[in-house]
Amino acid sequence: MSERNTLVRSLHDIGLAAWFGGSLMGAVGLNGGASTAKSPVERLSISSAGWAKWAPVQLAALGTHAIGGIGLILGTKERLAGQAEARTNTIVKAAITGVAGVVTLYSAMVGRKMAAHASEGATATTTPSDYASDELTSAQKQQKVLQWVIPAITAVLVVLAAQQGEQQRPSAGWFHK
């Protein structure tokens, strides 16, 4: 049996890279760029259209990362059983992945609320206008935070994944026989 986990490690890393990078680009590029539109209505419409196009890719990234993560756990279960540090990292990483997934899905629901109220216009994508409904104002205030929480949490996952790679070195107490 092979001791390499190239396929599942690649799925794990590519999914996480798309999740992190797409979220960060959306917050900086898409929301930031849409906020410069001259028409207040276009600001939300452009942002909402962009996020709607990205949603299937984001969902695929989450699924790809999850499949890769489960594959890595199954493929390294012997090491996880014998190396407490790796086991702890895996448990923490799984919990943070769950939180990141829930926050991402919640952000998508908030984004749909914003899209439904796009005709009200906005000062910026995540900044309500003086004429915004309470529902839009609430959604924009939430999204203003969520757009940064997702890349922050997924950046933590990148660091934990790097730590897991370091834990596989012989100097970390794990030796392949």
What is the pLDDT averaged over residues 148-154?
A: 98
What is the pLDDT averaged over residues 39-47?
A: 95
What is the pLDDT averaged over residues 145-174?
A: 86
Average pLDDT, the chain: 92
Distances (CA, A) of 98 to 5, 9, 124, 144: 22, 18, 30, 21
What is the pLDDT averaged over residues 16-38?
A: 97
**What is the per-residue pLDDT across 102-115, written as a single tens digit (0 to 9) for each?**
999 999 999 999 99
| pLDDT level of residue 167 (50, 70, 90 thresholds) | confident
0.85 exceeded by pTM: yes
- Runs of H (alpha helix) within the chain: 6-25, 31-34, 40-75, 77-82, 84-116, 134-167
**What is the per-residue pLDDT across 90-103, written as a single tens digit (0 to 9) for each?**
999 999 999 999 99
Q: Please tell me the predicted confidence (pLDDT) of residue 1.
A: 40
Q: Please tell me the predicted confidence (pLDDT) of residue 134.
A: 97
What is the pLDDT averaged over residues 127-152?
A: 97
What is the pLDDT averaged over residues 150-162?
A: 97
Q: Please tell me the predicted confidence (pLDDT) of residue 164.
A: 85
pLDDT above 90: residue 79: no
Closest CA to 75 of 160, 154, 158, 164: 164
With 0-12 / 13-18 / 19 or more C-beta atoms within 10 angstroms meaning exposed / middle / buried, residue 51 is buried
What is the pLDDT averaged over residues 131-150?
A: 97
